[in-house]
Structures are given as structure tokens and as C-alpha cells.
Amino acid sequence: MLLHTPADYRTALRRLDALAAAGVEGNPALEAEFRQLIVALDAYEGQLGLLPIPTLPTSLAEMIELKRQQMRLKQKELAELLEVPAGRLSQILSGKRRVTLDLAKRLYERLNIPSDFILKNA
């Protein structure tokens, strides 16, 4: 797939957003289309000198970190929001500790992380 015009680029971005919102995991055809769109967008942006589109998080720690950055919180502030000790949050983000059911619920409620993503990656 090649993008030649700004209109192609905008169309591809809209399709990428739609696929991301719908969730492509578990559907090989949609996953393939998603990857093709990312490659095409990256190539087009490379021609323009733009930064590549960041990839979606693949682990719960990456998703928590993304949400922390989007909310512009320090790690300590995020720990307070989630009602966990800062050290425990650090261990979770580094993969040394697993997420408890209580914390999973707070991640869903307070950070708006989709429950299916939490379950698949916890």
C-alpha cells in the first residue's frame, strides 16, 4: 500500500483510528491491514520528514506508562491516583510484580484502560 497525496494520508489515518478503536486483536485480517497502514503511513511521513506514528502498547506496563504520560502525571502522582505504594507501581511497571484484581479495577476506572486489554496482558 502506498500513499501518494495528503488525501490518501488523511484517509489512511482515519482508517487506522477506526481499527484502533475497534480493536484488531484476534482478527488476522484486521491485524494485517493495521500493520500495512502503519508501514504506509510511516513511509509517507518519512518522505515528508515527519516523526513516525508511535506503536500501540503491547503490555500492561506500556499501557499504564502511556496513560501516565497522557495525563501528565509523575509516577508518584499516578501511584497516589491508583492507591498503591510508589514502590509497588515501580515493580509493576518493570514487570517484577503482577497486577492484583483491585488494581486492575482501578486501572479500568481511573485510567480508562479497556478491561479486555487488562485481562489479556495482566
Mapping DSSP onto H, E and C, the string for the chain reads: CCCCCHHHHHHHHHHHHHHHHHCCCCCHHHHHHHHHHHHHHHHHHHHHCCCCCCCCCCCHHHHHHHHHHHCCCCHHHHHHHHCCCHHHHHHHHHCCCCCCHHHHHHHHHHHCCCHHHHHHHC
Q: What's the pTM value of the predicted model, to 2 decimals?
A: 0.57
What's residue 53's pLDDT? Answer: 59
Q: Where are the domains of the chain?
A: 6-48, 60-121
Model confidence over 31-86: pLDDT tens digits? 888 889 889 888 888 887 765 556 788 899 999 999 999 999 999 999 999 999 99
CATH class of 60-121: mainly alpha
Cα angle, residue 104 at apex, residues 103 and 108 outer, rounded to 5°: 115
Cα dihedral: 94, 100, 102, 108 (round 10): 50
What's residue 98's pLDDT? Answer: 92
